[in-house]
Amino acid sequence: MLNYIFITKDIMNNRHILITGGAGFIGSNLTEHFLKKGYKVTCLDNFATGHKHNIEPFMQNSNYRLIEGDIRSLETCKQAVEGIDYVLHQAALGSVPRSIKDPITSNDVNVSGFLNMLVAARDAGVKRFVYAASSSTYGDSESLPKVEDVIGRPLSPYAITKYVNELYADVFSKTYGIETIGLRYFNVFGRRQDPNGAYAAVIPLFVKQLINHQSPTINGTGDYSRDFTYIDNVIQMNELAMLTTNPNAVNTVYNTAVGDRTTLNQLISHLKDILSQHDSQIADIEIIHGPNRAGDIPHSLASIDKAKKNLGYEPTHAIRAGLEEAVKWYVDNL
Average pLDDT over residues 278-292: 93
Catalytic pick among 64, 158, 254, 330: 158
Helices (H), the chain: 9-13, 25-36, 52-55, 74-80, 96-101, 103-107, 113-124, 157-176, 202-211, 231-243, 264-275, 305-311, 319-333
Res. 12 pLDDT band, cuts 50 70 90 = low
Alpha helices (H) in 66-191, listed in sequence order: 74-80, 96-101, 103-107, 113-124, 157-176
With 80 as the cut, is the pLDDT of residue 242 above it?
Answer: yes
pLDDT value for 199: 74
Question: Rounded to an integer, what distance in angstroms lies between the CA atom of residue 34 and that of residue 4?
Answer: 14
Instruction: Report the run of H or E that residue 41 belongs to, with start and end.
Output: strand 40-45
Spatial CA neighbour of 118 closest among 80, 65, 154:
80
Q: How confident is the model at residue 14 (pLDDT cuts 50, 70, 90)?
A: confident
Q: How confident is the model at residue 183 (pLDDT cuts 50, 70, 90)?
A: very high
Q: What is the pLDDT of residue 296?
A: 75
Whether 19 has a pLDDT exceeding 60, the answer reads: yes
Whether 224 contacts 296, CB under 8 Å: yes
Class of domain 8-186+231-259+296-317: alpha beta
Span 146-164, average pLDDT? 96
Q: At what angle do helices 319-333 and 202-211 cross, to 10 degrees?
A: 50
> In sequence order, what are the residues at sequence separation of 6 or more whose Cβ sits closer than 8 angstroms to the Cβ of residue 266?
none
pLDDT of residue 305: 98
- Distance, in Å, from the CA atom of 297 to the CA atom of 142, rounded to the nearest integer, reads 9
Q: What is the pLDDT of residues 250-279, one digit of tens each?
A: 999 999 999 999 999 999 999 999 999 999
Residue type, position 273, single letter: D
pLDDT band of residue 294 (cuts 50, 70, 90) is: confident
Q: What is the mean pLDDT of residues 89-97?
A: 94
- 224 is annotated as an active-site residue: no
pLDDT band at 53 (very low <50, low <70, confident <90, very high): very high
pLDDT at site 330: 95
pLDDT of residue 62: 97
pLDDT at 10 over 50: no
Quick one: which of 47, 41, 51 has its CA closest to 193? 51
7 pLDDT more than 50: no
Position 45 scores a pLDDT of 98
pLDDT of residue 5: 39
Q: Please give the pLDDT value at position 198.
A: 73
Is the distance from CB of 262 to CB of 229 less than 8 angstroms?
Answer: no
| 14-29 per-residue burial string, b: 16 or more CB within 10 A, e: under 16 | ebbbbbbbbbbbbbbb
Give the CA distances from residue 80 to residues 17, 45, 71, 94, 124, in Å, rounded to whole numbers and listed in that order.
10, 10, 10, 22, 10
Q: Quote the mean pLDDT of the chain.
A: 93
Please list, in sequence order, all residues whose beta carbon lies within 8 angstroms of the beta carbon of residue 264, skipping any fewer than 6 positions away: 202, 218, 219, 220, 222, 223, 224, 225, 226
Evaluate if residue 310 carries a pLDDT over 70: yes
Interhelix angle 25-36/231-243, rounded to 10 degrees, is 60
- pLDDT at position 298: 86
Segments making up each domain of the chain, as ranges: 8-186+231-259+296-317
pLDDT of residue 32 exceeding 80 = yes
14 vs 239, more confident: 239
Confidence at residue 13, expressed as pLDDT on a 0 to 100 scale: 62
Q: How far is CA 107 from the centre of its chain?
A: 18
